[in-house]
Structure 1
Amino acid sequence: MKKRIAIIMGGYSSEYQVSLKSGNVVYDHLNKKDYEPYRVHIFKNKWVIVDDDKNEYTVNKHDFSVVINNAHITFDCVFNAIHGSPGEDGYMQAYLKLLDIPQTSCGFYQAALTFNKRDCLSVLKPYGIKCATSFYLNKGDVINTNAIISKVGLPCFVKANKAGSSFGVSKVKGIEELLPAIENSFNEDDEIIIESFLDGTEVSVGVINYKGETIVLPITEIVSENDFFDYEAKYLGKSQEITPARISDEMATKVSQTAKRVYEILKMEGFSRSEYIFVDGEPYLLEVNTIPGLTTESLLPQQAKAAGISLQELFGNAIEQALITKNN
């Protein structure tokens, strides 16, 4: 009997359009012999199933079910393709946990922790994971630009603490650019993180639970045409993404071991994609993503393809591992 799979997509953040693309790729590539997939659009004003004819059916939030043509539909598993809130910050994970519905991403605590860049880095630093020097600000704090620059130097990066797809990120080259960059980040979040500039080769490393084993996928080198790997570079073709990365075997081993260690320290499940910059041959962690892009052009699918894993296998495995986790 086919398993009914709810593919949740959309979300409440600036990343909703990217999420809709990811969700539709999952829908298109799931093995229809094994699964009966449903597109579920999650927005602040509505949770709806959207069928192939664009008809919408309201989801009952009390039990995450839906009535379609007088049939009451429940789901065996939820495939989480929401980038940003509420799919990547722990809210959907906690909600589905309460309903005892398995889902493909990490647990609610891991999602909340990794979504908060500064909290995640604070947890990992005592384990010897190298990170940039950072300065934190909450909305309403007194802003001392000289103190910030004294700590992190120039150039530096100003980032929204809880946002993805490079929304609310600016590269600051002069002190006069700092306040506008801070305001830009506060448009996305009420917490920001300002980090020292790391000059080196940037790589992205996917780690997944594949058939019950934690594996590190082939590494991708990021070569941005812009100042950094921003939204244009990620989604509008303004970068080269080279898999496998053009780095030494020693560097590849170091970053692979670090990425796997981060995954295990945080007790992750499902997909993880983390970004690193090499400084003097050592990988420095930038951030951890638990709902990475899943379009055909996205990094994790590229890496899976290089490892000989098709999208059908990648997505089907995520569902099966979620079902196994529930049954254990």
Structure 2
Amino acid sequence: MSKKNIAILAGGDSSEAVISFKSAQQLADVIDRSLYNPYTIFIKGAEWTVKQDGVQDISIDKNDFSFQQNGQKVTFDCALMVIHGTPGENGILPAYFDLIRLPYTGCRTFTSALTFDKYATKKYLEDEGVDMARGYMFRKGQQIDTQALVEELGLPMFVKPNASGSSFGVTKVKGADQLQAAIDTAFTEGDSILIEECITGIELGNGLIKTPSKALVFPVTEIVPKKEFFDYEAKYTSGMSEEITPARISEEVTERVQELSSHIYDVLGCRGIVRVDYIYSNDKLYFIEINTIPGMSPASIVPKQVEAMGLQLRDVLTLEIEDAIARF
């Protein structure tokens, strides 16, 4: 049986490009090379290039996502999406692959666009009885009555970009005098922001993948940041957070988390590996966000959950790739 060519897509046009590279590197290392020929494709703006050790970068032909090497045309059987942020996680690249009819991992175009917008996702899940922090969305140029927000939501509160990941631009506001600066910071990451009440509790993350033949809901991870909250530094700096898998919660709460993650996955129409984040407070699970292209670097949560489940990341990756190809 001939091996399938897999394009591992890395980079992107957001602050998360550096995390994307680390994720792509790990997946290139663990992918089953008895089944696949992996190629890392770097995407930055209009530059789409094949990165190979000891070989000059080769441009991708965007007409059919192919490239020429040694006089031969190389095409792909599947694109492995590892671009956090735009244009991968927000649906732009999925739409392109839909147009050229190339299988790709992860969520379809609509689900990617929907889930990248935190406010839209919350509105979508409202009717499902999912508990969420109270908050408001604002677009750039809107007048924001900071005093009214403090009175209604209380302090501390969170200000975050509405469409961004890896906790870039997120501020935990403790005083009313800090709110405007936090708003300005969040707007550096995009044109809309969320301002939400602060729910105090245990932060939890739960990864999963569901295919027509198999559902893998991974163990739950408890996240204990050494800082005020799980910001970029806490996520990606060694020793800045403690990530405990399985989480120090009861079996009953663990089951509730996993069942809710599975339900949210289905309601949103997800595909591939995702991670759902919560705050557990006063016996309620508050949905924070869903990551449809979660970090897959050695420091990331999902690979640790896969290991804790007694599985090999290589095999879970194979499941995701083969499902993407079979269902396209």
Structure 2 Cα separation of the partners of residues 98 and 37 of structure 1: 23
Indicate the residue corresponding to 1:255 in structure 2: 257
Residue 74 (structure 2) pairs with residue 76 (structure 1): no
Q: CA deviation at 1:214?
A: 2.6
Q: Counterpart of 2:275? A: 273
The match for 1:7 is 8
**Is the partner of 1:217 in helix, strand or coil?**
strand
- Taking the TM superposition and a 5 Å limit, the aligned residue runs for 1:100-139 are 100-139=101-140
Counterpart residue number, 1:305: 307
Q: Deviation per CA, 1:161-208: give whole Å up to 9, x if none.
A: 000000010000010000000000000111000110001011001111
Q: Residues of 2 paired with 1:28 and 1:231: CA distance?
A: 24
TM-score scaled by length of structure 2: 0.97
Give unpaired runs (5+ residues) of structure 2: none
- Distance across 1 between alignment mates of 2:274 and 2:314: 18
CA drift at 1:54: 4.9
Over the matched positions of the two proteins, sequence identity in percent amounts to 40
Any residues of structure 2 matched to 1:1-328 within 5 Å, and which? 1-209=2-210, 212-237=213-238, 238-326=240-328
- The whole-number CA distance in structure 2 between the counterparts of 1:187 and 1:201 is 29
Unaligned runs of 5+ in 1: none
Write the distance in 1 (CA, Å) between the matches of 2:152 and 2:95.
Answer: 37
Is contact 1:10–1:82 with CA below 8 Å preserved after alignment? yes
Following TM superposition, by how much is the alpha carbon of 1:139 offset from its aligned partner in structure 2, in angstroms?
A: 0.4
CA offsets per residue over residues 64-99 of structure 1, 9 Å max, x none? 111112110110000000000000000011110111
Pairwise CA distance, 1:211: 7.4
* Distance (Å, rounded) in 1 between the aligned partners of 2:228 and 2:112: 29
Residue 154 of structure 1 aligns with an amino acid whose one-letter code is: L
Given that 1:198 and 1:277 are in contact with CA atoms closer than 8 Å, whether structure 2 keeps it comes out as yes
| SS across alignment from 1:286 | strand
Q: Note the C-alpha offset of 1:318.
A: 1.0
Deviating 4+ runs (over 4 angstroms): none
Query: How far apart, in 2, do the equivalents of 1:194 and 1:218 lie?
Result: 30
Q: Give the superposed CA RMSD.
A: 1.0
Shift of 1:316: 1.4
**Residues 179 and 54 of structure 1: CA distance in aligned 2, closer, same or farther (over 3 Å):** farther
| 1:191 aligned partner, one-letter code | S
CA drift of 1:298 comes to: 0.7
**Aligned-partner Cα distance in 1 for 2:41–2:138:** 36
CA distance in 1, matches of 2:313, 2:174: 40
Shift of 1:151: 2.5
Q: What SS does structure 2 have at the residue aligned with 1:240?
A: strand
- Deviation at residue 155 of structure 1 after TM alignment: 0.4
Q: Distance in 1 between matches of 2:123 and 2:111?
A: 14
**Cα offsets for 1:265-305 (capped at 9, x unmatched):** 11111011011001111110000000000012210111011
Q: Deviations over 1:2-38 (max 9, x none)?
A: 0000000000000001001111111111111110110
Partners of 1:133 and 1:151 within 8 A in 2: no
CA distance in 2, matches of 1:107, 1:248: 34
Q: Deviations over 1:114-135 (max 9, x none)?
A: 1000000000011101100011
